[in-house]
Structure 1
Amino acid sequence: MKKWKRYFTAFLCFCMVFVFLSPASAKTNKEETAYIDVSVATLWTEPNIARDIDSPSLSNPVDMWKWTKSMTYEEKLWLVGNLETQALYGMKVTILEKQGDWAKVVVHGQPTPRHPLGYPGWVPIRQLTKGNAFAKFQSKPFAQVTSPTAWLYKDPKGNHKFMEISFNTRLPVIQSTKNAVKVMTPSDGAKWLKKEDVQIFRTEADIPAPTGEDLVNTAKQFLGLPYLWAGTSGFGFDCSGFTHTIYKAHGITIPRDSSVQAQFGTPVPESELQPGDLLFFAYNNGKGKIHHVGMYIGNGKMIHSPNTSTTVRIDDYRAPGYGEEFAGARRYIHK
C-alpha cells in the first residue's frame, strides 16, 4: 500500500497545482460546506438545463427508480455530457457559488484534477442541508450500506419506510440492536437500517483491505443494473463511477474518472493480470484518449458498466470492440 500512497500523494499535488494555475482559482470565498440531503444527488454541468423528465432527480426527496426507468434510450443518451457525477446521502460537499435555486459544489472523496477538494458540478439547493446536528456525529462509527440499495425506516422493526438509499452510503451509528442499526440522517433525525444491509466500522481505515476476489464479488452484485451516465450509486453506474464506487466501498479511494484512474495505481503487464485490476480502453486502437474502464475478474473476462444501451455485465476484454482498444491495466491493491 505504501507505493499506492505515493501515487495518490502525487495525484493530490497535481490537483492543487492544476487549480492554483486555473483562472477560476482567483475567486476565493469563505468556505461553506453542506451535506447531501437526498438518497442520490445528481450533479449537472450547468444550472437550469434539466428537462421535465428529470424532475424526479431534482426534488427532495428524489425518486431515482422513477427517473431512470421512465427515460427512453434517447432520453438517457441526452444525459451524456450534461451530467458530471453523483453524490450519496450524507456526503459532504463544499459550496463554490450559488445561482438562483442552484449551487455549484464539489463532492469530497471523489478525486479529480478539476478541483483539490473533489468533483465539481451543479445541484438544486433544496438537495443540500447545513446538517449542523449531523456534523456532530461525524466522529462516530458509521454504518455502510452493502446491499445494492437499502431502506431507511422510521422504526426498528422496519414497519414504516422512510427512504431508499444506495450501496456505499455511510451514516453515523447511534445504536445497534440484534436486527437493526439506528443512524443519524443529515436533516431528519434518527432512522433505522436493517443490520443485514450494512456493515459497521469505526473509521474508514478499519475497513479490511480487500483481495481482488473481494472486489469482484462486490461488483457482481450489480450484474444487470442499467447504465447511467455519471452514475455512482446502486440505482445506476457509468463505467468509472462503477469502479470508483466498488473500491470506495472497500476503503480505497481512487480517482473518479477513467482517464485519471489510468494514471495512478501500479501499471500491470497484461500477462500478469489478477482479479480486481482495472482495464483501460482508448480511442485510436488503444493509443488515444482513455474512454472506458472495466474490472478484470479472471479467465480473460471483465465486469463493467459499458454504455447507455446496456447494463453491468461480464465480457471478454479482448473481444471485438474492446480488444483492439485495450490500453493497459492498473492495480490499486497489493498482495
Structure 2
Amino acid sequence: MNRIKYVTVLILSFFTLCLFGFSPHEASAGEREKTAYVDVAVATLWTEPGLLRNIDAPSALNPVEIDNWLQAMNYEDKLWLVGNLETQALYGSKVTIIEESGEWVKVAAANQPTPRNETGYPGWMPKKQLKLGRTFEKQHNRGLALVKAPKAWLYKDSKHHSKFMQVSFDTRLPLLQVKKDKVKVMTPGDGVKWMNKKDVSIHKGESQIPSPTGEDIVQSGKEFLGLPYLWAGMSGFGFDCSGFTYSMYHANGITIPRDSSIQAQFGRKVERDNLQPGDLLFFAYDNGKGKVHHVGMYIGFGKMIHSPNTSTHVRIDEIKTSGYGEEYAGARRYID
C-alpha cells in the first residue's frame, strides 16, 4: 500500500476505531441495512430538518436547481447559510441514514471523515433526493468514471442529443463502457447515461487512482479560480474553504478530513521554510494560537489558493496578506 492510500485508510480508521471503539465489521453490516445514494447533482445537508427559507426551495428539489438557488441569493442571503448548513454530497455518493423526520432524513455522507460520526459527515436532507440504488451499488465493481472537469453533462443518448443532468467535479459513477470519445455510466435511479470522455478520468476502482503530485492538486484547484464561495460547499457550483481543499485532494485519490480544524491534525507537519505546492496552510484566531478557522493550499512563491469567505471567490493570495499572515498557524503535507 503506497503512502497516499495509507493516509486515507489511516484517517478513516482513526475516526472509526480510536474515537469511537467501533468495529469495521459491525459498521459494514449496519450500513447495508441503511445506505442510500444521492440522486441529485448536489445534495445540501442542513443542521436541522425544515430550515429552508423560500429562497432555498430550489436546493431541495429533485432534480435540484442548484444554479437557480445560488444565482437568486445576494450576499446577505448567502451569509445566513453560515451555521445552518453542514456540508454537501455529490450525485451517486453513498450516505448512511441515521434518522427520519417526515420528508427529511438525517444522513452521514460517506468518505467525509469527521469525529462527529464514524460513518461520515452528518446533516439533514430531503428524503426525495435519495435512492436506495441496489442495482446501482452492484455496478461499482465494473470500473469508475471520475469527473475531472469543473462541471460535466450526463446525456440520455450516446449521440449526446438530449441532456439529462449537469454534475460536479469529483462526482464518481460506475463505468459500464468506454468508446472513442464517450463513456457509458450507471446512475443511482435513472439507469444508463452517457458522458464526454474528456470530462472524466477512468479507473478500475478507487484504489487505482494514480498517486498525484502536489502540482497535480494545485492544477485541479486553479480550474476554479473565480468560483464564488459557498458555506458548506463541496462542488464545482461552490466551495467553502475546507470543502475546496478536501475536494481537490479527493478528486486526486486522497481522502482527508472534511473540516479545516481536523485537516490541521493529520498529515505531516511542515515548517514554513520547507513548504511545497499542495501543502495545506492553516489559519487560527488569536494570532495563530487559537482555533483553526481557515485553510488554503500552497502553490509556491509565498502564495496560496483558497476559497476565503462569503464576500469573495476562489482566488490566489500572498500568505502574508493582511488577515492571513498574522493568523498563520502551520502547515500539513498529505503527499510525498
Same fold by TM (over 0.5)? yes
**Aligned counterpart, 1:165:** 167
State the distance in 2 between where 1:87 and 1:4 align: 22
State the distance in 1 between where 2:242 and 2:280 align: 10
**Aligned counterpart, 2:26:** none
Deviations 1:270-310 (A, max 9, x none): 00000000000000000000000000000000000000000
2:44 pairs, out of 10, 20, 42, with 42
Report if aligned partners of 2:15, 2:113 keep a CA contact under 8 Å in 1: no
The CA deviation at 1:119 is 0.4
Are residues 1:186 and 2:191 paired? no
State the distance in 1 between where 2:21 and 2:12 align: 14
1:142 pairs, out of 134, 141, 144, with 144
**Aligned counterpart, 2:78:** 76
State the distance in 1 between where 2:178 and 2:165 align: 19
Aligned partner of residue 140 in structure 2, secondary structure? coil
State the distance in 2 between where 1:245 and 1:279 align: 15
Question: Which stretch shifts more, 289-298 or 156-165?
Answer: 156-165
State the distance in 2 between where 1:187 and 1:3 align: 33
TM-score, length-scaled by structure 1? 0.94
After superposition, where does 1:1-335 map in structure 2 within 5 Å? 1-2=2-3, 5=6, 9=10, 12-19=13-20, 31-334=33-336
Change (3 A) 1:121 1:16: farther
State the distance in 1 between where 2:216 and 2:240 align: 21
Report if aligned partners of 1:4, 1:265 keep a CA contact under 8 Å in 2: no
Report if aligned partners of 1:216, 1:297 keep a CA contact under 8 Å in 2: yes
Report if aligned partners of 1:97, 1:105 keep a CA contact under 8 Å in 2: yes
The CA deviation at 1:173 is 1.1
State the distance in 1 between where 2:145 and 2:185 align: 7
State the distance in 1 between where 2:8 and 2:179 align: 41
Change (3 A) 1:4 1:37: closer
Change (3 A) 1:48 1:275: same
Q: Percent identity?
A: 61
Aligned partner of residue 162 in structure 1, secondary structure? strand
Deviations 1:255-278 (A, max 9, x none): 000000000000000000000000
State the distance in 2 between where 1:13 and 1:198 align: 31
State the distance in 1 between where 2:12 and 2:275 align: 24
Aligned partner of residue 297 in structure 1, secondary structure? strand
The one-letter code sitting in structure 1 at the alignment partner of 2:129 is Q
State the distance in 2 between where 1:91 and 1:10 align: 19
The CA deviation at 1:179 is 1.3
The CA deviation at 1:4 is 8.0
The one-letter code sitting in structure 2 at the alignment partner of 1:143 is A
Report the number of matched residues. Answer: 328
Report if aligned partners of 2:11, 2:113 keep a CA contact under 8 Å in 1: no
Deviations 1:153-209 (A, max 9, x none): 011121110000000101111111111111000000000001111111001121111
Report if aligned partners of 1:224, 1:313 keep a CA contact under 8 Å in 2: yes
The CA deviation at 1:12 is 3.2
Change (3 A) 1:224 1:86: same
The one-letter code sitting in structure 2 at the alignment partner of 1:12 is S
Report if aligned partners of 1:16, 1:115 keep a CA contact under 8 Å in 2: no
Report if aligned partners of 1:15, 1:112 keep a CA contact under 8 Å in 2: no
Change (3 A) 1:141 1:30: closer
The one-letter code sitting in structure 1 at the alignment partner of 2:297 is M
Report if aligned partners of 1:180, 1:192 keep a CA contact under 8 Å in 2: yes
TM-score, length-scaled by structure 2? 0.94
Change (3 A) 1:76 1:129: same
Report if aligned partners of 2:283, 2:324 keep a CA contact under 8 Å in 1: yes
The CA deviation at 1:316 is 0.3
The CA deviation at 1:7 is 8.7
State the distance in 2 between where 1:249 and 1:3 align: 13
The CA deviation at 1:3 is 8.7
Report if aligned partners of 1:4, 1:332 keep a CA contact under 8 Å in 2: no
The CA deviation at 1:238 is 0.3
